[in-house]
Structure 1
């Protein structure tokens, strides 16, 4: 059965996108990261929020633009949106219901990970108890503002158990199991 993994690259001050959804800051921190390279083979499907899907691409103007993990991964992607486009591309599936999209992604992933991309989507899945693990690669930069990794108005603790940590040339990786 597929596990659900929320992955994100994050600034040290907790932002996964800069002001206005800017992702250009991340390009400077692309470097070989063994934990991500190993993870890619373990991903069976992506579950992606609409803002993430249509948002700024950190690979803009580079090889791999518009592709998951800069072209390092290929497979089924389930985009959760209120507005399904008429034209659909191969391996892109637009769904209007998060639970349905998650079920489809899990089925497609088999015994591999469903990789969640997008803070709002991850927040909803954490609220419903559907995220199994979180992997964050922390870049050595302070953005000061933007989209946080996790936002819970009024506060709420989500207990985590660290299962792995490692260092790459331009990132520190922290992998957690979510404890509900």
Structure 2
């Protein structure tokens, strides 16, 4: 059965996007040889994407690397939104309910991962007890402002345990 994974690249100060969702900072920090990222990509069976992320900035827009995982992901995409477009793009499913979106994405993923793109969707999955794992990659840059990888004003305590035998910064969520 599929697991739900939140994987992202963050600045060292914990931002996955700059102010206004700007992703241009990421261009110089991705690519190259990263066996963990390649292994994750090989094991993603579906994406669950927030509407802001889906319609947001792509640092590779207009290039052959445009799209999820630098344009390397080709598979089912589920967008969580209450405002689907009137003419949705082909091969993208828009879903208005978190539990339904996760269930549909898990079914499509089979025994692979559902990879979350978007901090808000990841936060909703954590709050609903639906997130299984978190994998963070860190870029050697400090942004100082933007979209945090996890933001919960007033604080919360989400317990994480390192995944045995895995790379640093890959955790299971402990509920």
Decide which structure has greater strand share: 1
What's the counterpart of residue 8 of structure 1?
A: 8
**Separation in structure 1 between the aligned mates of residue 139 and residue 156 of structure 2, nearest angstrom:** 25
Secondary structure of the residue aligned to 1:165 is coil
What's the counterpart of residue 167 of structure 2?
A: 165
Aligned Cα RMSD in Å? 1.1
Query: Structure 1 length as normaliser, TM-score?
Result: 0.92
Secondary structure of the residue aligned to 2:49 is strand
What's the counterpart of residue 114 of structure 1?
A: 114
| Runs (4+) off by over 6 Å | none
What's the counterpart of residue 177 of structure 1?
A: 172
Query: Structure 2 length as normaliser, TM-score?
Result: 0.95
- 5+ residue gaps, structure 2: none
Deviation at 1:59, TM superposition (A): 1.1
Secondary structure of the residue aligned to 2:141 is coil
Deviation at 1:33, TM superposition (A): 1.4
**Separation in structure 2 between the aligned mates of residue 109 and residue 86 of structure 1, nearest angstrom:** 26
**Separation in structure 2 between the aligned mates of residue 83 and residue 64 of structure 1, nearest angstrom:** 27
Indicate if the aligned counterparts of 2:2 and 2:113 stay in contact, CA closer than 8 A: yes
Deviation at 1:84, TM superposition (A): 1.3
Number of residue pairs aligned between Structure 1 and Structure 2: 172
Secondary structure of the residue aligned to 1:13 is coil
Moved more, 79-88 or 43-52: 79-88
What's the counterpart of residue 42 of structure 1?
A: 43
What's the counterpart of residue 59 of structure 1?
A: 60
**Separation in structure 1 between the aligned mates of residue 65 and residue 81 of structure 2, nearest angstrom:** 24
- 5+ residue gaps, structure 1: 167-173
Q: Deviations over 1:47-98 (max 9, x none)?
A: 0000000111021242222x22122110000001111112223320011111
